[in-house]
Amino acid sequence: MTVGCLTGDLPQSYKPTTPGQRGLVLIDRSELYKGRPVKSLTRGLTKSGGRNNTGRITSRRRGGGTKRLYRIVDFKRKKFDVVATVERIEYDPNRTAFIALIKYDNGEQAYILAPQRLAVGDQVVASQKADIKPGNAMPFSGLLIGTIVHNIELKPGKGGQLARAAGTYAQFVGRDGGYAQIRLSSGELRMVRQECMATVGAVSNPDNSNQNMGKAGRTRHKGKRPSVRGVVMNPIDHPHGGGEGRTSGGRHPVTPWGKPTKGRRTRAPKKSSNRMIVRLRHKH
């Protein structure tokens, strides 16, 4: 495999020499850059442990984890018609995808999401109309129908919001007036303005979902705390709690606060962006 080429390294399994390595499956990151990130492109990241400004837990099962530096990733790609060269591919602890350090011809550096099949030494550019190759960014008005894209803007100039996680992508399937129609990985068909930017290719690290952490400690290092099922709690702690012996709940699944869950749709019925959805992901 070419050094730095992100075709999607296969997961790496380990011999069960210890209990924590039995079943352990990790992504092979041997070809990623092993040094520290560019200092000017990072900032500190404080942990909240899931607590709000009054100290109360508003998001359960968070806490601990290894200290991180936040990498400032360019989701806007507004530096038009300036060619940049890929310096290296890096691991980013703040997201599932890998990131690429690019250096523009004028000497400026930036981090972008690394797409699949982007190699060290490749050149990328953002323009109104550019070549259809991984890493190039342009508005939908300059893209060919059928192109696989990621890092898609929902509002012109706001920066990419769709298809940013590892292995995700969307397909540009048509034009309708001033809008572009895109099909997301979930099956949803939606519209965005043709002035919105998108980057060619699918996001790197497609095997991220095949990982098996192997032990609880490795998950704790990521800042995730244990999740306790409601049916094993007492009645005071959860609506599913209590009962003699093992019970399956015996009622519709609800949250600790009595709200329906497990399949209950939570999207607001009058959300303004609903009109941009041509076909819901639930209706294939």
pLDDT at position 9: 61
Structural domains in the chain?
A: 11-209 (2.40.50.140), 231-279 (4.10.950.10)
Q: Is 74 exposed, middle or buried (0-12, 13-18, 19+ CB in 10 A)?
A: buried
- Nearest C-alpha neighbor of 28 from the set 5, 51, 58: 5
Residue 273 identity (one-letter amino acid): S
DSSP sequence for 81-131: T--EEEEEEE--TTSSS-EEEEEETTS-EEEEEPBTT--TT-EE-B-SS--
pLDDT at position 138: 97
Statement: the pTM of the whole predicted model exceeds 0.85: yes
CB 209 within 8 A of CB 156: no
Question: 199: helix, coil or strand?
Answer: strand
pLDDT at position 104: 96
pLDDT at position 282: 87
From residue 38, give the alpha-carbon distance in Å to each of 57, 69, 86, 89, 114. Answer: 34, 11, 14, 12, 16
Per-residue pLDDT of the chain (284 residues; tens, 9 = 90+): 333 444 446 788 899 999 999 999 999 999 999 999 999 999 999 999 999 999 999 999 999 999 999 999 999 999 999 999 999 999 999 999 999 999 999 999 999 999 999 999 999 999 999 999 999 999 999 999 999 999 999 999 999 999 999 999 999 999 999 999 999 999 999 999 999 999 999 999 999 999 999 999 999 999 999 999 999 999 999 999 999 888 876 778 999 999 999 989 999 999 999 999 999 998 76
pLDDT at position 249: 63
